[in-house]
Amino acid sequence: MDQTLNYGFPYPECDEPLVKDASDIIQLEQLATAVDTEVQALYDTASQLLVRPDSVRMSTSAVVPVLSPIQNTAVAYTSLTFDNTPGQQMADLTAQAIRFVETGYYLVGHYIVATRTPPGGTIPVSVRFLKNGAPVSGWSARSSIDSGMASSHTVLRFDAGDTLTTEIRMDIVAIDWQYIARIWAYQLMAV
């Protein structure tokens, strides 16, 4: 039986003189099955990377109070707000972080809104990403408004099993403050 050059699909061969051969129908079935398998694989790849790439969004489940003099603190993400990862969730509520299920490059982002007690004045808040508990980015620009909001986004490479969370820093320690935070990841490319 002959095969196509690019994919190696089997196809019926007929030599002169053309004579009916009972095996021709089996060869046509093999060709149809091979084409169907390849088309499904291409569809699955396109669907996973272009139509439904891995993506997740998590948040703090409530306003988190922080008593001074804490300046740097890791954020515990305890609430899942979105996860489209088929079969496995990227939102790891036990680790309170995003856990990547596929190696690749991801657009990741985070924002925090902080308020102070007593109110008034500025809250210089900044954030940075932690990969497996270690800093993987610099501190974001500090907010300088009464209700501090800081955000950051970047493209990072993660291996399957890596975790992502964030750490926040408030440069004033003489006050009590509280915050809410969100984090997300969107797969750009699998490797």
pTM of model > 0.75: no
Burial (Cβ within 10 Å: 0-12, 13-18, ≥19) of residue 188: middle
User: What pLDDT is stored for residue 34 in this prediction?
Assistant: 86
- What pLDDT was estimated at residue 16? 62
Alpha carbon distance 128, 109 (integer Å): 10
pLDDT at site 176: 73
Strand partners for 141? none
**b/e per residue, 1-28, with b = 16+ CB within 10 A?**
eeeeeeeebbeeeeeeeeeeeeeeeebe
pLDDT of residue 95: 94
Contacts within 8 Å (CB) and 24+ apart, 60-64: 60/179, 60/180, 60/181, 60/182, 62/180, 63/178, 63/179, 63/180, 64/178, 64/179, 64/180, 64/181
Give me the pLDDT at residue 1, please.
67
CA distance 78 to 105: 24
- Going by the DSSP 8-state scheme, the letter that residue 163 receives in this structure is E
Positions of the chain with pLDDT under 70: 1, 13-24, 48-49, 51, 67-71, 86, 118-123, 143-148, 171-175
What pLDDT is recorded for position 103? 94
